[in-house]
């Protein structure tokens, strides 16, 4: 432990000055403020001489976390103190008893909750059955039972960690960013902390897909320069009308974030040019008169549509007043075509709604304490109670729990009605049987059919917003194994599996034997790679045990096993002048902290890595490697969803990988095409690729309708630069309107 220089001490004092000012404003009295000063002095003393990876004094991290807690989340002095002290018990000689003696029970419980999150499993041998990361996430979620502020402070801690992630080694950076995307970003969203969510998303994109991030940022900066005046012109008549109506208000201009644009581009497989609603305008008003906040939102909406008649895109109207989000978010959204010819989203909120939108759950409880909650604000409490029940289940396996919570955090909501007209919130894609289990586990267990909108339907029927659902039960009915094929809710699946548990063990063993026997006919053993492929092919949600159980009871009959084992093999082939290399060798040694070079041995026809089916990376892509259970390395794109999942649960499997500099190998990629159909255009496209560019086409799919063609070409390229050159050439062909790389989803 070294000592700090005078410059270090000045930096510490300078950083604390900002926190001191914010804390002074937030504290209710001088006594609370003195507690904050005392917490800083203790933390500063405890971390004296300790530095972060960046070389800065360590105390700057707790100060930064405390600033986020007070300035961006809006928590009070106890949370500020806990943020300052959150690493003291874990990293120094101070104990929980020391904190309790100096700061009392409440601050100690917050610090203790944060410390428990960092406690790792002591027995590394358990890692075969349990994921260390998943167990630690379980500890995080268990703190919900104690105090929600623990999660909020942890989010502040994670935000500062990703803000300074450039100083981390690459493998650790991938692990931290992946678990941030898998759990912390969805938590920030669910708790209504949108600014924190957006910042973490953009940092994730900056490091996972740096070229895409910089490209989108440049385009947004250009748009801001050329369109800013036209947005002001759009706002001006709205502002005049609101003033005339006597409103006190302010209007903010907002642009979509790079991440939200990238997400839409990748989800819809479209280029930047087809993202239309880049600008948003936010109207925040102080309520006036006797009308409710909701009624005043509707009045402002009517003013806007009066100013811009017949310019609304009605399919983009969003009423979060009648149906607030589960995190309490309320607003009215509409999308209007501006006089300059651009779509602009308008968000209408009261000042109260805006505070909850900006600071989420913290603002929710501030208003709750003032007893000024709206009728829908209890949704946050309901959701947290739901999470607590999941976490409190003593049988909850950490990995299953992590997936369940992730599912709870990220899925879109729908609203359905009971026969008595009571509204129930479900996740999109849920079935009538999922609904039955949400009502009560016994209703689910005894369900035999359902009525949706008075029509008799099977329990597997997928529900939609506005459906009225009645569950028909029978006392003699019991959960059936085939229910697992269509149930979406992790809770419902768990209920069914628990009921069937006694028989499940025998079925798992039977399924293992059947699978081993069938695989042996193909000269294979049930390796982790084979199991992973089968889980994906049969769409098994609950992992390998559920796969074995379904095979054991005959839900999966393995009649198509041969097809599945060979499916996509062509897609994964890597070509060297017509020679297919498919033998993936196990590396002799992988050194942590060093780059594992992705190489091939041409003379022996082998390569040192496996290409993931899910994202098909090619040289030039940003990639991450994972060591499979059989010791072989599989590579994914860093932005691949499956890679996020793996890194979130098994970070110790991450390998730093780098493409070798050779360009002998060719890799499969897909280009999406669209344009105006004309005679000979397909010949022009294939001639350009095959004859002019000398590229091997594997597959061509083009369809034409009403003079427009669209489709895709699968072809083998050496790297991303080759692919970009091909795309540029294709765009120059007369009639081609769109050509861009898309994922291979087949």
User: pLDDT (tens digit, 9 = 90+) per residue, 210-265?
Assistant: 999 999 999 999 888 888 888 999 999 999 999 999 999 999 988 889 999 999 88
Tell me, yes or no, whether 170 and 222 share the same domain: no
Categorize the per-residue pLDDT at 20 as very low, low, confident or very high, splitting at 50, 70 and 90. very high
pLDDT at 435 over 90: yes
**More confident of the two residues 3 and 340:** 340
pLDDT value for 365: 54
Asked whether the beta carbons of 254 and 280 are under 8 A apart, the reply is yes
Tell me, yes or no, whether 175 and 190 share the same domain: yes
Strand partners, 579: 576
Supply the DSSP symbol for 462: B
Tell me, yes or no, whether 120 and 250 share the same domain: no
pLDDT value for 376: 42
pLDDT value for 224: 84
Categorize the per-residue pLDDT at 337 as very low, low, confident or very high, splitting at 50, 70 and 90. very high
Residue 375 domain-assigned (yes or no): no
**More confident of the two residues 391 and 613:** 613
Tell me, yes or no, whether 224 and 334 share the same domain: yes
For the domain that residue 733 is a member of, what is the CATH number? 3.30.70.260
Q: Which of 600, 634, 659 is the last residue of a domain?
A: 659
pLDDT at 368 over 80: no
Least confident of 266-270, 398-402, 586-590, 617-621: 398-402
Catalytic residue, candidates 15, 32, 90, 510? 90
pLDDT at 183 over 60: yes
Residue 1 domain-assigned (yes or no): no
Asked whether the beta carbons of 54 and 10 are under 8 A apart, the reply is no
**More confident of the two residues 505 and 3:** 3
Where does residue 49 fall: left (phi above 0), alpha (psi -120 to 50 degrees), or beta otherwise?
A: left
User: What's the predicted TM-score (pTM) here?
Assistant: 0.72
Domain that residue 104 falls in: 6-204
Is 295 in the active site?
Answer: no
pLDDT at 445 over 80: yes
For the domain that residue 231 is a member of, what is the CATH number? 3.30.460.10
Tell me, yes or no, whether 177 and 191 share the same domain: yes
Of the candidates 144, 183, 79, the one whose C-alpha atom is nearest the C-alpha of residue 383 is: 144
**Residue with tokens 């996509």, as numbered in its chain:** 568
Catalytic residue, candidates 15, 32, 91, 652? 91
Compute CA 538 distance to the chain's CA centroid, rounded to the nearest angstrom: 24
Strand partners, 414: 426
Mean pLDDT of 354-364: 72
pLDDT value for 372: 45
In 486-584 the beta strands, taken as DSSP E runs, fall at: 574-576, 579-581, 583-584
Q: Give the whole-angstrom CA distance, residue 712 versus residue 268.
A: 15
Is 91 in the active site?
Answer: yes
Mean pLDDT of 184-191: 81
Where does residue 222 fall: left (phi above 0), alpha (psi -120 to 50 degrees), or beta otherwise?
A: alpha
- Average pLDDT over all residues of the chain: 81
Please name the residue ranges forming H helices in 580-657.
Answer: 641-649
Categorize the per-residue pLDDT at 567 as very low, low, confident or very high, splitting at 50, 70 and 90. low
**Range among 187-191, 296-300, 556-560, 742-746 with highest mean pLDDT value:** 296-300
pLDDT value for 651: 78
Tell me, yes or no, whether 447 and 331 share the same domain: no
Categorize the per-residue pLDDT at 585 as very low, low, confident or very high, splitting at 50, 70 and 90. low
pLDDT value for 128: 38
CA geometry: angle at 587 spanning 585 and 589, to 5°? 170
Please report, rounded to a whole number, the percentage of residues in the chain having pLDDT higher than 70: 82
pLDDT in tens, 446-482: 999 999 988 899 999 999 878 899 999 988 888 887 8
Categorize the per-residue pLDDT at 93 as very low, low, confident or very high, splitting at 50, 70 and 90. confident
Give the three-class secondary structure for 695: coil
At 652, list the tokens: 């110790």
Least confident of 67-71, 494-498, 547-551: 494-498
Residue 387 domain-assigned (yes or no): no
Tell me, yes or no, whether 164 and 270 share the same domain: no
Tell me, yes or no, whether 46 and 194 share the same domain: yes
Tell me, yes or no, whether 170 and 141 share the same domain: yes
Tell me, yes or no, whether 511 and 603 share the same domain: no
Q: Give the whole-angstrom CA distance, residue 239 versus residue 490.
A: 48
pLDDT at 429 over 70: yes
Q: Which of 546, 566, 586 is the last residue of a domain?
A: 566
Tell me, yes or no, whether 168 and 247 share the same domain: no
Mean pLDDT of 169-185: 87
Tell me, yes or no, whether 195 and 63 share the same domain: yes
Q: Which of 632, 659, 686 is the last residue of a domain?
A: 659
For the domain that residue 437 is a member of, what is the CATH number? 3.10.20.30
Q: 595-622 burial, b if ≥16 CB within 10 A, otherwise e?
A: ebebebeeeeeebbbbbbbbbbbbbbbb
Mean pLDDT of 314-323: 86
pLDDT value for 326: 67
Strand partners, 701: 712
pLDDT in tens, 666-676: 888 999 999 99
pLDDT in tens, 98-124: 999 999 988 988 888 787 655 432 333
Domain count for the chain, please give it. 6
Of the candidates 222, 224, 223, 207, the one whose C-alpha atom is nearest the C-alpha of residue 259 is: 207
> What are the backbone angles phi and psi of residue 567, rounded to the nearest 5°?
-60, 140
At 641, list the tokens: 């969803």
Mean pLDDT of 125-149: 55
Please name the residue ranges forming H helices in 92-180.
Answer: 96-103, 105-118, 132-142, 148-163, 170-179
């Amino acid at each position: 432990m070294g000592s700090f220089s005078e410059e270090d001490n000045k930096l510490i004092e300078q950083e604390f000055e900002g926190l001191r000012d914010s804390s002074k404003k937030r504290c209710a009295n001088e006594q609370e403020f003195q507690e904050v000063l005392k917490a800083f002095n203790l933390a500063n003393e405890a971390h004296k001489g300790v530095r972060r990876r960046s070389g800065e004094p360590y105390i700057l991290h707790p100060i930064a976390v405390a600033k986020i807690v007070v300035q961006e989340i809006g928590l009070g002095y106890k949370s500020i103190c806990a943020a300052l002290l959150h690493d003291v018990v874990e990293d120094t000689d101070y104990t929980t008893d020391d904190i309790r003696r100096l700061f009392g029970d409440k601050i100690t419980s917050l610090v203790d909750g944060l410390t428990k999150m960092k406690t790792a499993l002591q027995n590394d041998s358990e890692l075969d059955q349990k994921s260390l990361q998943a167990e630690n996430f379980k500890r995080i979620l268990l703190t919900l039972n104690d105090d929600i502020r623990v999660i909020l402070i942890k989010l502040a801690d994670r935000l500062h960690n990703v803000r300074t992630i450039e100083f981390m080694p690459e493998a650790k950076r991938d692990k931290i960013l992946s678990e941030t995307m898998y759990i912390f970003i969805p938590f920030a969203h669910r708790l209504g902390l949108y600014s924190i969510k957006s910042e973490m998303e953009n940092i994730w994109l900056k490091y996972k897909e740096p070229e895409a991030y910089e490209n989108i940022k440049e385009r947004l900066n250009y748009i801001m320069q050329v369109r800013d005046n036209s947005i002001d012109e759009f706002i001006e008549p709205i502002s005049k009308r609101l003033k005339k109506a006597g409103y006190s208000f302010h209007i903010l201009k907002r642009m979509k974030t790079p991440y939200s644009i990238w997400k839409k581009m990748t989800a819809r497989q479209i280029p930047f040019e087809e993202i239309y609603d880049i600008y948003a305008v936010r109207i925040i008003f102080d309520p006036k008169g006797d009308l409710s906040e909701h009624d005043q939102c509707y009045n402002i909406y009517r003013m806007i549509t009066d100013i811009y008649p017949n310019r609304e895109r009605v399919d983009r109207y969003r009423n979060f007043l009648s149906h607030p989000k589960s995190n309490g978010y309320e607003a009215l959204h509409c999308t209007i075509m501006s006089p300059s010819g651009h779509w602009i989203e308008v968000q209408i909120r009261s000042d109260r709604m805006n505070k909850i939108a900006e600071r989420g759950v913290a603002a929710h409880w501030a208003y709750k304490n003032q007893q000024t909650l709206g009728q829908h604000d209890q949704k946050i409490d309901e959701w947290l109670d739901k999470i607590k029940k999941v976490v409190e289940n003593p049988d909850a396996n950490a990995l299953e729990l992590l997936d369940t919570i992730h599912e709870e955090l990220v899925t879109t909501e729908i609203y359905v009605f009971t026969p008595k007209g009571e509204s129930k919130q479900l996740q999109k894609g849920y079935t009538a049987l999922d609904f039955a289990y949400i009502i009560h586990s016994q209703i689910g267990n005894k369900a035999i059919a359902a009525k949706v909108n008075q029509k008799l339907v099977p329990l597997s029927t997928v529900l939609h917003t506005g459906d009225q659902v009645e569950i028909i039960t029978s006392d003699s009915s019991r959960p059936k194994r085939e229910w697992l094929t269509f149930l979406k809710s992790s809770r419902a699946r768990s209920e069914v599996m628990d009921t069937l548990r006694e028989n499940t063990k025998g079925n798992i063993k039977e399924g293992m034997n059947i699978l081993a026997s069938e695989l042996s006919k193909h000269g294979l053993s049930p390796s982790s790679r084979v199991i992973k492929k089968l889980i994906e092919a049969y769409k098994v949600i609950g992992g390998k045990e559920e796969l074995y159980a379904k095979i054991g009871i005959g839900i999966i009959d393995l009649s198509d096993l041969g097809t599945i084992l060979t499916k996509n093999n062509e897609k994964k082939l890597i070509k060297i002048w017509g020679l297919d290399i498919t033998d993936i060798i196990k590396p002799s040694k992988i050194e942590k902290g060093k780059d594992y070079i992705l190489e091939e041995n041409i003379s022996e026809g082998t390569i040192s890595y496996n290409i993931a089916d899910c994202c098909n990376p090619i040289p030039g892509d940003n990639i991450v490697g994972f060591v499979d259970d059989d010791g072989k390395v599989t590579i994914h794109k860093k932005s691949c969803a499956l890679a996020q999942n793996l890194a979130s649960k098994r970070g110790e499997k991450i390998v730093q990988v780098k493409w070798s500099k050779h360009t002998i190998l060719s890799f499969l990629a897909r280009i999406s095409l669209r344009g105006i159909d004309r005679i000979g255009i397909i010949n022009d496209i294939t001639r350009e690729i095959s004859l002019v560019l000398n590229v091997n086409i594997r597959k061509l799919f083009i369809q034409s309708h009403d003079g427009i063609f669209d489709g895709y070409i699968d072809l083998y390229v050496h790297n991303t630069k080759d692919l970009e050159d091909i795309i540029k050439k294709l765009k120059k062909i007369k009639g081609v309107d769109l050509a861009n790389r898309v994922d291979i989803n087949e």
